Amino acid sequence: MADLLGSLSRTHTCGALRPSDVGARAVLLGWVHRVRDLGGLLFLDVRDRHGITQVMVPSDSPVMAEAKKLRSEYVVAVIGPVRRRDADTVNPKLETGEVEVVAHEIRLLNEARTPPFSIADDSTVSEDVRLRYRYLDLRRPRLQANLGLRHRVTMAVRKYFDAHGFWEIETPILGKSTPEGARDYLVPSRVHPGAFFALPQSPQLFKQILMVAGTDRYFQIVKCFRDEDLRADRQPEFTQVDVEISFAHVDLVFGLIEPLIVEVFKEIGVHVPTPFRRMPYAEAMARYGSDKPDLRFGLEIADVSHVWADAAFNAFRRIVADGGVVRALVVPGGGRFSRSELDALVEQARQLGAVGIMWARTVDGAVNTNVKAAGEDTLQASMAAAGCGAQDLILLAGGKADEASRLLGAFRLSLAKKENLIPADRYEFAWVVDFPMFDWDGGDKRWVAMHHPFTAPHDEDRELLDGDPSTARAKAYDLVLNGSEIAGGSIRIHDPAMQRRVFQLLNISDEDARLRFGFFVDALQYGTPPHGGIALGLDRLVAILAGEGSIREVIAFPKTAAAVDLMTGAPSSVDPRQLEELKLRLTPPPPAAPGPGPGV
């Protein structure tokens, strides 16, 4: 039987005691982090969210018998005076390391089964086990620190927006499908059999309607849901800091978001200089092969098309003649790569969907390459044009501009990692701007919105919608940090005629538009102010701040990459009666629920 807490209250957290508290009576409430039974003396480390305090049980103590019962993760109350530790036992790693509590009373408030992994050691445990016993995983100091950081970041966000005249307004979770482009999570309606709610992919239309409603400045820290296929480090539900601003233009949005980022980074003691650089999408693609360039290192892609325009090598000459490009990536010092390392690069290119990749370097004063037919002179001219020195390696890709750059962009990242060119502790921000309005979907043979269908075209590109839509730029922007997109948004269309035009271009018929977004198109007609906004990915942002590679490390109860909650076993099959009430019949019979297996 456990002892009772009774009316005992803590006097100090386990992270609070300092030499100035010596002599005070302390009541600590927490978990047994470690027990060190020295035969005579016994030491206990007691832990709570705030830290760890050493408790000393003297050999002749009347509570020794009680202390000897304690095991890791038992829940205890310890009462006794604070004393200064002997100089040689001070622990500089603990904030409370100069003092200890002498146990006069110990109450065992609860026992604990032996945990499947140690909370005290930061030993490596498989992620499945960690997720299954998430409550134990969360007790570990690293995840406690991450949750604490996440809390401070959300508080900083709320304080910032409040100070700038924003209202936090909740929008529905049970809603109508929002067109963010991913698959919706659907919720069947019992009251209206056959009808479904969709969980929001984002509150996009609601926040725009809030601008029509005159709320002027809105923000919300909000869960969004996208039923996407497995991709590493995506979550089916994730958190956005969602923002919308009336009478917004690009400079106004950037001017409000940059100081927010400055505030948030103060939480980890990092000063972020503003304004952030701005880079047109076309430049990001050409120089870095990505619309979210990692700017912590160079390795820029060079265009060497001119070198190949009259080359003897047919393949690249033809590509250039047909309006394509030849682009190059120089790997400093890459001339030393072994033949198997070079073969691996070619294989990597195939994995990325290319036919291969051309490489060249200088060996004993002559060009060494995997494509001899490319011709020594042209290769040498390419190396000179791209700045490839005698010790370096050049990679060459030919094709459509974005395709060639994307391929080299992927190599840029993997080779920077391989060559250790990415400095840690650097934060390189950039706004990527001037995205194209549309992307051509070759499969479906239609335009799709690059951001979403409510994004306004550039003022000077409006005419292009009737000419060549592929060249029209959008007032869309992404905020990129160290190669991750941490925010994205746009200035919206506020003119119903323009909205109709964009729907038409996207092949959304009037009828379709009425069915899907009729409420929104209606609202647009009642005096919509010019407006725009942005959404920041909170999980990714906190993961970067915490120095974590995966967003799962900063989410209290994340799902696996296979969209399963290993702790609760969701998703799971449901009682046939529930299906009956919803007038749903499963066909074919449900596969086994992907819940946690039988024991870990």
- Chain residues binding ligand ASP by CB under 6 A are 180, 202, 204, 488-490, 533-535
Q: Give least dist CB 488 to ligand ASP, A.
A: 5
Our CB check for ligand ASP shows the closer of 200 and 334 to be 200
At 578, list the tokens.
């529930």
Residue 535 Cβ, how far from ligand ASP at the closest point, in Å?
A: 4
Beta bridge partners of 72: none
Q: Measured from the CB of residue 248, what is the shortest distance to ligand ASP in angstroms?
A: 11
Helix, strand, or coil here: 313? coil
Q: How far is the CB of 592 from ligand ASP (least distance, A)?
A: 34
DSSP state of 97: T
Whole-number minimum distance, CB 494 to ligand ASP, in Å?
14
Nearest residue to ligand ASP by CB is 202
Closer residue to ligand ASP, CB minimum distance, 204 or 369: 204
Residue with Cβ nearer ligand ASP (31 or 218) = 218
Task: Give CA 422 to chain center in angstroms.
Answer: 19
Beta bridge partners of 28: 78
Q: What angle do CA 412, 415, 421 make, to 5 degrees?
A: 95
Distance CA 509, CA 347 (A): 44
Of the pair 308, 454, the CB lying nearest ligand ASP is at 454
Can you give the three-state secondary structure of 250-307, one letter per residue? Answer: HHHHHHHHHHHHHHHHHCCCCCCCCCCEEEEHHHHHHHHCCCCCCCCCCCCEEECHHH
Closer to ligand ASP by CB, 149 or 508: give it.
508
Q: Give the span between the Cα atoms of 488 and 583, in whole angstroms.
A: 39
Spell 586-596 as b/e; 16+ CB within 10 A means b: eeeeeeeebeb
Closest Cα partner for 399 from 283, 334, 303, 298? 303
- Choose between 362 and 490: whose C-beta lies nearer to ligand ASP: 490
Q: 273: how many CB neighbours lie within 10 A of its CB?
A: 9
Question: What one-character DSSP code corresponds to residue 76?
Answer: E
Instruction: Decide whether 16 or 169 has the Cβ nearer to ligand ASP.
Output: 169
3-state DSSP assignment of residue 71: coil
- Give 73's DSSP letter: T
- Residue 52 exposure: Cα atoms within 13 Å on the Cβ side: 20
Tell how strand 217-225 and strand 167-168 pair up: parallel
Least Å distance, CB 178 to ligand ASP, is: 8
DSSP 467: S
b/e for 335-360, b at 16 or more Cβ within 10 A? bebeeeebeebbebbeeeebeebbbb
> For residues 42 and 535, which CB has a smaller minimum distance to ligand ASP in the complex?
535
Tally DSSP H helices, then E strands, for the chain.
Answer: 16, 23
Q: Least distance in Å: CB of 182 to ligand ASP? A: 10
Least gap, CB of 557 to ligand ASP (angstroms): 22
Q: Give CA–CA dist 369/376, Å, rounded.
A: 9
Pairing of strands 99-102, 105-110: unpaired
Tell me whether residue 211 or residue 534 sits nearer to ligand ASP (CB atom): 534
CB of 228 to ligand ASP, least distance (A): 13
Q: How far is the CB of 495 from ligand ASP (least distance, A)?
A: 18
Q: Write out the two tokens for 33.
A: 């982090």
Q: Report the alpha-carbon distance of residue 470 to residue 464 in Å, rounded.
A: 8
Of residues 254 and 337, the one with the C-beta less far from ligand ASP? 254
Least distance between ligand ASP and beta carbon 524 (Å): 16
**Residue 437 φ/ψ region, left for φ over 0, alpha for ψ in the -120 to 50 degree band, beta for the rest:** alpha
Task: Name the residue among 28, 20, 41, 43 with its Cα closest to residue 98.
Answer: 20
Between 134 and 451, whose beta carbon lies closer to ligand ASP? 451
**Shortest reach from residue 184's CB to ligand ASP, in Å:** 14
**Beta carbon nearer to ligand ASP, 436 or 533:** 533
Shortest spacing between CB 455 and ligand ASP, in angstroms: 7
**Which residues does residue 296 pair with via DSSP β-bridges, in sequence order?**
none
In sequence order, the 6+-apart residues with CB closer than 8 A to the CB of 30 are 14, 46, 47, 48, 75, 76
Residue closer to ligand ASP, measured from CB, 55 or 534: 534
H/E stretch holding 223 reads strand 217-225
At 423, which amino acid appears? P
> Is the Cβ of residue 238 or residue 429 nearer to ligand ASP in the bound state?
238
Q: How far is the CB of 268 from ligand ASP (least distance, A)?
A: 25
